[in-house]
Amino acid sequence: MSRFFSEKYKNLTPYTPGEQPQEGGFVKLNTNESPFPPSPKAAAALSSAEINKLRLYPDPESRLIRRALAANLSLDIENIFVGNGSDEVLAFIFAAFFDGEREVCFPEISYGFYPVYCELYGIKTNTIPLKEDYSIDIEAFVRTDKSVVLANPNSPTGMAVPGADIEKLLKKRERLVIVDEAYIDFGGESAVELVKSYDNLIVVQTLSKSRSLAGGRLGYAVACPELIADLFNIKYSFNSYNVNRLTEIVAAAAVEDKDYFEYTRREIIKNRERTVKWLESRGFDVLPSAANFIFTKSGQINGAALYQRLRAKGILVRHFNKPRLSDFVRISIGSDSDTDKLLKALGEIISTIEDDL
Ligand SMILES: *Cc1c(COP(=O)(O)O)cnc(C)c1O
């Protein structure tokens, strides 16, 4: 740390992203990316003419992509805010709506960025433990008067909260409810419809996972127009051009290609079910996943060792060295051939353990 770094950040521990190895050859199942390329219509939408237009700033209102997203959700453009990934959208939300007085709470085990934003902005971190079965303790959230941030499905568990439970939270109109739906297309029940009836709801979604555009960086918030206007206020105080021209074009084409979206998400769900069945038949515990990843533990090998053994076989998964999580690994669901390689490697690892017994 340099001697110039602000005192106010002395306790800041940044979020640790999953490994992005620069050497190839890994089956990469550690950061919940899609194994499929983006819609072929995305590549077709780009041209050297569009590259040449990079001399111009993008539309600060990002109307092309906001219109495409609004049409896809049957809402208006005034209901949509876009950012450089949903991480940026979440950062703007924490900056806009929470502070020393306006408190927020979230599950103790959830997306690792939420406590980082609290630290960055000087917001008190209030957390509520998961229940014994790793589900979110909705009743405890309903009881507080604080605003609430939930990932639905949650990460790294993959477990979903029913839509009716989200509505229970919304009934306390004085609080804001943020639902981070990064994985909603793989099984959960979206709260987007509720935006029409609740002016205290923000739903955050992303094109990173179910639209295969993690590298394009496009996330968005869906809410009533007043909340969206507040987010624009923050964005224009930070970066007017947060979504670049090429991403806007590619993202709009991807959102419009509904057939490709349906095909790729069904493939992932199919491979998730195949993986879960295989693991359960070999004695692994798998939390019920509505996401494009599973969270699983074996009674025979701890999470850190399983992570290491898979890595040695060229398969990258994610291990969290934290209380209640360290027995598990989180495995992103890949293509058919990724799944074949994963299950083959796991089979070999289990049989060497059994030989040693
Ligand atoms: C991946 C993820 C995000 C961030 O996605 P980007 O849009 O790529 O920034 C946000 N929330 C959760 C829960 C995630 O898993």
Which residue, judged by its Cα, is nearest atom 12 of ligand 1?
Answer: 182
Query: Residues 274, 31, 22, 88: what is their CA dihedral angle, to the nearest 10 degrees?
Result: 150
The helix (H) or strand (E) run that includes residue 180 is strand 177-180
Q: Which atom of ligand 1 is nearest to the CA of 154?
A: 13
Closest CA to 141 of 192, 176, 92: 176
Q: Which atom of ligand 1 is nearest to the CA of 90?
A: 10
**Is residue 155 lining ligand 1, measured as CB closer than 6 Å?**
yes
Q: How far is the CA of 140 from the centre of ligand 1 (A)?
A: 25
Q: How far is the CA of 87 from the centre of ligand 1 (A)?
A: 6
Six token digits for residue 146: 């604080």
Q: How far is the CA of 182 from the centre of ligand 1 (A)?
A: 5
Q: How far is the CA of 309 from the centre of ligand 1 (A)?
A: 27
CA 1 to chain centre: 30
Domain 40-256 is of which CATH architecture? 3-Layer(aba) Sandwich (3.40)
Q: Write phi, then psi, for 173 (nearest 5 degrees).
A: -70, -15
**Is residue 106 lining ligand 1, measured as CB closer than 6 Å?**
no
**Is residue 86 lining ligand 1, measured as CB closer than 6 Å?**
yes
Q: Tell me the best of 33, 82, 111, 332 to mutate to test the pocket of ligand 1, counting ligand atoms within 8 Å of each CB and taking the most.
A: 111
- Residues 121 and 9: their CA atoms lie apart, in Å, by 9
Q: Which atom of ligand 1 is nearest to the CA of 207?
A: 7
Identity of the amino acid at 228: I
136-175 residue pLDDT tens: 999 999 999 999 999 999 999 999 999 999 999 999 999 9
Domain segments of the chain as ranges: 21-36+259-351, 40-256
Return the CATH class of domain 21-36+259-351: alpha beta
Question: Which residues are CB-neighbours of 170 under 8 A, at least 6 positions away?
Answer: 177, 194, 198, 200, 201
| Burial of residue 246, with CB atoms counted within 10 A of its CB: 0-12 exposed, 13-18 middle, 19 or more buried | middle
Place of tokens 């970066």: 239
The pLDDT of residue 36: 98
The pLDDT of residue 49: 93
Question: Hey, is 127 helix, strand or coil?
Answer: strand
Closest CA to 108 of 325, 329, 303, 328: 325
Q: Tell me the best of 65, 152, 206 to mutate to test the pocket of ligand 1, counting ligand atoms within 8 Å of each CB and taking the most.
A: 206
**Is residue 205 lining ligand 1, measured as CB closer than 6 Å?**
no
Six token digits for residue 164: 């009716």
| Whether the Cβ atoms of residue 165 and residue 188 lie closer than 8 Å to each other | no
Which residue, judged by its Cα, is nearest atom 2 of ligand 1?
Answer: 182
Task: Write out the chain's pLDDT in tens, 357 residues.
Answer: 899 999 999 889 999 888 888 888 899 999 999 999 999 999 999 999 999 999 999 999 999 999 999 999 999 999 999 999 999 999 999 999 999 999 999 999 999 999 999 999 999 999 999 999 999 999 999 999 999 999 999 999 999 999 999 999 999 999 999 999 999 999 999 999 999 999 999 999 999 999 999 999 999 999 999 999 999 999 999 999 999 999 999 999 999 999 999 999 999 999 999 999 999 999 999 999 999 999 999 999 999 999 999 999 999 999 999 999 999 999 999 999 999 999 999 999 999 988 876
The pLDDT of residue 19: 85
The pLDDT of residue 117: 97
| Burial of residue 354, with CB atoms counted within 10 A of its CB: 0-12 exposed, 13-18 middle, 19 or more buried | exposed
| Whether the Cβ atoms of residue 233 and residue 213 lie closer than 8 Å to each other | no
**Is residue 216 lining ligand 1, measured as CB closer than 6 Å?**
no
The pLDDT of residue 353: 87
Q: How far is the CA of 190 from the centre of ligand 1 (A)?
A: 16
Question: Hey, is 60 helix, strand or coil?
Answer: coil
Q: Tell me the best of 94, 155, 183 to mutate to test the pocket of ligand 1, counting ligand atoms within 8 Å of each CB and taking the most.
A: 155
**Is residue 206 lining ligand 1, measured as CB closer than 6 Å?**
yes
The pLDDT of residue 17: 87
Question: Which residues are CB-neighbours of 281 under 8 A, at least 6 positions away?
Answer: none
The pLDDT of residue 322: 94
Whether this model's pTM surpasses 0.85: yes
Q: Tell me the best of 33, 86, 109, 203 to mutate to test the pocket of ligand 1, counting ligand atoms within 8 Å of each CB and taking the most.
A: 86
